[in-house]
Structure formats: structure tokens, C-alpha cells
Amino acid sequence: MNILWLQSGGCSGCTLSFMGLEEQDLRSWSQALNLNWLWHPSLTEHSGDETQALVQKILAGEIKLDIFCLEGSVIMGPNGTGRFHMLSGFDIPAKDLILQLSQQADYVLAIGSCAAYGGITAAAPNIVDATGLQYDQNQQGSLLPSHFRSAKKLPVINISGCPVHPAWVADTIGLIVFEQFTEASMDAVGRPKFYAEKLVHHGCTRNEYYEYKASAEKASDIGCMMENMGCVGTIAHADCNERAWNGSGSCTKGGYACIDCTSPDFGRLSSEYQTTPKIGNIPIGLPTDMPKAWFIALSTLSKSATPKRIKENATQDHIVISPEIKQKKL
């Protein structure tokens, strides 16, 4: 398959993450799937006139474009002209080329939350009018209209994340190559279900502290970060604690609260990250699939039953009381 990866309004963080693919190195993975990289800013050598000629052949239908990947948001400003982001050599706004390539491709992939929904690039005051490829935050219909379908009759596949996990990209492309990716493979906001149907909360190393609502109070504490530190892993759609990053880690395992970077709302919330919004002393909005009254009752009961070990350890940067060794009855 011919694949082209274009960067727009972003930081190249998704490329950096993708190049850290671990199951196989990128070259071996590409060869195994018989991928032909027409263009990628870090994986291909040609540039300038050669790249421009290549793109013109794609647009003329002389080279088939199977997969088009966009990294970074679409820059629409000023006033919808896109002239805040002009393409050298083409003398057209980047948004115009992005639109043309999307219309040529069998599959269109938005790589990262900026390309999918606008992300950090579209955060207020958003003076460049940055937006996602087919979504503007939660609203479908952006550069590409809500009814857009690629040549294979699919909407944009939103591989969101800031940055994306490299395996999310690799697995999506793998499913496409083996003709196993359909519209039923996507959730309500266009994310691949294989990772978006999970929650970051699943497999979190701090789950014992969550169960007893034994909470961290400062950044170095090992307790649950939901109550005070702004962690939203209970509602964040991703498999981050089941699928390791960089071989072993995740945000919460490293002591950093989940900030739901795969969400259409990422980058545009009214509350501060790493701070839990509360009414009175009660966290609001967590978790979404539990009635609030039940959560409050469960939290009160859990805290009253918290073992000393968990309560003491929660506000420390290391385990100070080890689990008791119990002899089993044979």
C-alpha cells in the first residue's frame, strides 16, 4: 500500500512517538505489511522539487494513494482562507492540499488529537483558527464535512492521543492492510475501538488506592490522584495501563495524572489540569458511568474501611508499610 504522512499545525510529537514503535522497528514493520512510504518528514529522504512532483502525480491520479495520514491540526485562519499556513513550493494554503489528498485517498487517518479534534493547537484564544480534520472538538464537520467518506466509504479515522501510542497507529494500519477495519471498528467520535473501548483506569497500578479513596495530596504521593490531583483515568478512553509505553510505563504509573488526551475536549477545558474541580469538597463528574449519589456513598464507606497500610502509604512517595504476610490454611 502507498502511504503518505503530512504534518500541519502541531509539534511533531506524534511522529516522535511513532518512531518509537517497539513490537518491530519501523522498517521491519513496514516491510512486513508491504507499505510503500511515498512521503514522511522523518522516514523518507526526498524533499523539495521531488516531493512536489510526487504530490502532483497523486492528485492527477498517476500514483494511487491508499492511506493518507495527517498529523497536526488544520489551520483555517484568517477568516477561513488558510493563509496562516502556506505550503512552500505549492503557493497554496496547507488546508487546500489536505482537502485534495483526503479526496484522493482510500483511507484518511487523523494522527493525534490535534488532527482529530483540534487538540492543544486549537486551545483558546486559537487565533489561527486551528481545527481537526473532520471534527472541531465534539462537533462533526470541519475542513471535511460530516458526510465526508473516503474512497473506501469511511469517515476520517481519528487515532487521537497527545501523543498517540505508536502501536495505535501500527495496529490501525495493520487492520487496514488486512481489510479488517470497517466503520463498525470506530467509536462514536471516530476512534478505533480496539483502544478506545478501554479506560485508562483499567490496569492502573493505583487501583487499590482508588478502591479505598486513599488519595494523593501532592505530586510525589503514590495514592489515587483522582480526588485531588485531577486524574480522569476513570473516564479517559485508552488502554494506556494495559499497553505499556516505552516498554513499561504510563502516565499514572510515572506519577502523572491522566488528563484524557484522547478526548475531543482535550486542550479546551475550563478547569486546570492536575486540579480536581469540586463542589464543596466533592469531586464533580467522576466517574461518568456511576450515579453521583452512589459514588458519594461508596466513597464515604470506602474511606471508613481503609486499612492503615493503604492510608499511610497513599501520602508517601514510597511504600512505608508493606502488605502483611499471611499464612494460608492448607
Burial class (CB in 10 A: 0-12, 13-18, 19+), 12: middle
2-196 domain in CATH 3.40.50.300?
Answer: no
The pLDDT value given to residue 291: 75
The pLDDT value given to residue 97: 97
- With CA atoms as reference, report the closest residue to 220 among 248, 256, 250, 249: 256
Q: At what angle do helices 94-104 and 49-59 cross, to 10 degrees?
A: 50
H/E element, 211: helix 207-211
The pLDDT value given to residue 285: 64
Q: Where in the chain is the domain with CATH 4.10.480.10?
A: 198-315
Which residue is associated with the grid cell 483558546? 124
Q: Where in the chain is the domain with CATH 3.40.50.700?
A: 2-196
- With CA atoms as reference, report the closest residue to 70 among 42, 108, 125: 108
Q: What is the pLDDT along the chain (330 residues), one digit of tens a residue?
A: 999 999 999 999 999 999 999 888 999 999 999 999 999 999 999 888 999 999 999 999 999 999 999 999 999 999 999 999 999 888 899 999 999 999 999 999 999 999 999 999 999 999 999 999 999 999 999 999 999 999 999 999 999 999 999 999 999 999 999 999 999 999 999 999 999 999 999 999 999 999 998 999 998 999 999 999 999 999 999 999 999 898 888 999 999 999 999 999 998 877 788 888 887 777 776 677 777 777 778 888 888 899 999 999 999 999 999 999 988 888
CATH superfamily of 198-315: Cytochrome-c3 hydrogenase, C-terminal domain (4.10.480.10)
Which residue is associated with the grid cell 469511511? 154
The pLDDT value given to residue 136: 96
Contacts of 63 (CB under 8 A, 6+ apart): 2, 38, 54, 57
Quote the pTM value: 0.94
